[in-house]
Amino acid sequence: MIRRLSAVLCGLVLTASAHAQTVDDIVAKHIEALGGAEAIAKVQTIRVTGSMSMGMGDAPVVVEFKRPDKQRTDFFVMGMSGTRAYDGAHGWQVMPFGGNTSAELMPDAEARSMASQLPFLDPLVGAKARGDSLVLLGKAKVDGTEMWRIKLLGPNKRTAVYYLDTETFLLMKEESKRVMRGQEVDAETVFGDYKEIQGLMVPFTRTSSMAGMDRRQVMSCDKVEVNIPIDDARFAVPAGAAPADSSRARRMRGSFVPKSDQKVDSMKVRRP
């Protein structure tokens, strides 16, 4: 009887071990769900065209990414255009809503925060190669959907928690910290409405919110283009950009406030 019980217990332990998933296992499934490592590696540029909810209404927006770490966002409101960009080393912006249409550099902390918000294509792809550590926190339910929770610890003290759907292994939510107007605040981004674009699963909605603000920023994609030519000059800091600590730069940083009363079905995953 004792031998039989021991054999049963041993079998249960072996079965549990065989089904235990490590953070590497889950990230590998996540990468496969996105389209696979080979397809992701082929992506050099992405351009997203859509709209973003802002304090002055919905605005057309164009977001561009280029390997390894360049990004640019252009938005258009009331006949004016604004820009936020990162050239791989420095962040800069043009925010005309306070009456000034010249470029200004971002403070270093804000530029680093922008660069860390969305690594090229997906925050978990290539995380360890960038020097990030990943820790599996277990499962949690979000709006009735079971999620894997993975914590990222970056070498620059950046931390974030990512939620992956346990069935699709697609990224559903990010919890992180961002620098806004010189202050570090808790931030959340919810991803939804995934569609396949050239073999890659891409979220067509992103809903962002920050602690202390009752407004949310919702970006909805109309078109996603992959591997189109994008000149490096699109991301370069404009000549004559104002220093980040100038009085003009401080005024400009306080001139733009996003909107947030839209509700998005954040857990919706649509396949073609």
pLDDT in the model for residue 101: 80
**pTM for this one?**
0.77
pLDDT along the chain (272 residues), means of 10: 47 44 96 95 94 78 92 88 92 84 86 68 85 94 95 84 97 84 80 94 91 80 96 94 64 43 39 36
CB 140 within 8 A of CB 149: yes
